[in-house]
Amino acid sequence: MLNKQSLIDRVSDITRKPKKEVEEIVDTFVETIIEKLSMDEKINLSGFGVFEVRERKGRKGVDPRTLKPTQIPTVRVAKFRPGKTLKEAVK
C-alpha cells in the first residue's frame, strides 16, 4: 500500500530532491485540491482524472437499531472520476 510517506520517499528518490521539499509540495498539492473543492471548483488533471463536488440527494432510510424510518439529509461529497490514461493503466 502506498501512503503519504511512501509517496514522499518515492518521489524524493526519483527526483533526487530532499524529502522535506517533496513533503511541502505534496502537502501544498493536497491543500490546493481541498481548497478548490471547498469553493465548488472542478480540478481536471489531464490523463489522471477529475476531482469535483457533487450533491447526494436526501432519501428515506431506516435506523438499524430501532428500525424506525428516518430522513437521510442531502450532503455534498467529493468525487473522483479517473481519466483515460489511468483507466487504461489499471486494466
Please give the pLDDT value at position 87: 94
One-character DSSP codes across the chain: ---HHHHHHHHHHHHT--HHHHHHHHHHHHHHHHHHHHTT--EEETTTEEEEEEEEPPEEEE-TTT--EEEEPPEEEEEEEE-HHHHHHT-
Q: Determine the Cα–Cα distance for residues 5 and 16; give it in Å rounded to an integer.
A: 16
Q: Name residues whose C-beta falls within 8 Å of residue 76's C-beta, 6 or more positions apart in sequence.
A: 53, 54, 55, 56
Percent of the chain topping pLDDT 90:
99
Query: What is the structure's pLDDT at 66?
Result: 93
pLDDT tens digits along 37-75: 999 999 999 999 999 999 999 999 999 999 999 999 999
Domain spans of the chain? 4-89
Residue 83 burial (CB count, 10 A): 16
pTM score, whole prediction: 0.80
Instruction: Name the pLDDT band for 27 (thresholds 50, 70, 90).
Output: very high
* Per-chain mean pLDDT for the chain: 96
What is residue 8's predicted lDDT score, i.e. its pLDDT?
Answer: 97
What is the CATH topology of the domain spanning 4-89? Answer: HU Protein; Chain A (4.10.520)
